[in-house]
A and B are shown apart, each in its own frame.
Chain A
Amino acid sequence: QQPVQSPQAVILREGEDAVINCSSSKALYSVHWYRQKHGEAPVFLMILLKGGEQKGHEKISASFNEKKQQSSLYLTASQLSYSGTYFCGTLSNDYKLSFGAGTTVTVRA
């Protein structure tokens, strides 16, 4: 069962912030975040494990609320290079990642 991502798309100006949400109906062991540039393969950004850890990658950070089975990805002071489609992947007791439908982020100068 795929996790639900929101919003589907967001348009930002350089320097603005955005939040992407990911929620699951299943108990989760971990949440992964990937970014895909147009025409390229998805690339791993970070993983969040049970325990509510907050991780960071450049000015991109994320949180994981295991009780609510939700994760949020925070794009801070966005740069042009942040444009792409962001996918969350959730890992539960079947040990297979299930990916959300993606959130397309467009950062404009």
Chain B
Amino acid sequence: DADVTQTPRNRITKTGKRIMLECSQTKGHDRMYWYRQDPGLGLRLIYYSFDVKDINKGEISDGYSVSRQAQAKFSLSLESAIPNQTALYFCATSGAGEYTDTQYFGPGTRLTVL
């Protein structure tokens, strides 16, 4: 079984709809992240959480919110989806470690906003 899972894997929605993307992990890691990937722009950090009570904005958090329901679960919400949020979204986890922080990625969710 995969260590980091994301649901759904693909989603097509309409402008203005509320969308939730979910991430679960069995690696026992404290740190979890949400990234979006756009062609030519690499991976950009949306939100991250270093433990259940810690939530931080990344470089592109506008239009997104998150919830850390448990150590193993981290959800990303688009309150009112817009077309330029069409992208590939990745969840990632890492173990605590000041200089390591190797990230393990989920399989991704391809989101299309019409």
Contacts and interface: CB of A to CB of B under 8 A. Distances in A.
Nearest to B105: A41
Label chain B's interface by main secondary structure. loop
B105 A32 contact: no
Interface in A89-107: 89, 91, 95-102
Describe A's contact surface by its main secondary structure. strand
Interface in B5-60: 35, 40-45, 48, 58-59
A43 B105 contact: yes
B62 interface: no
Given A30-B100, A49-B99, A95-B98, A101 B106 contact: no
A89 B103 contact: yes
Given A41-B108, A96-B58, A91 B101 contact: yes
B42 A44 contact: no
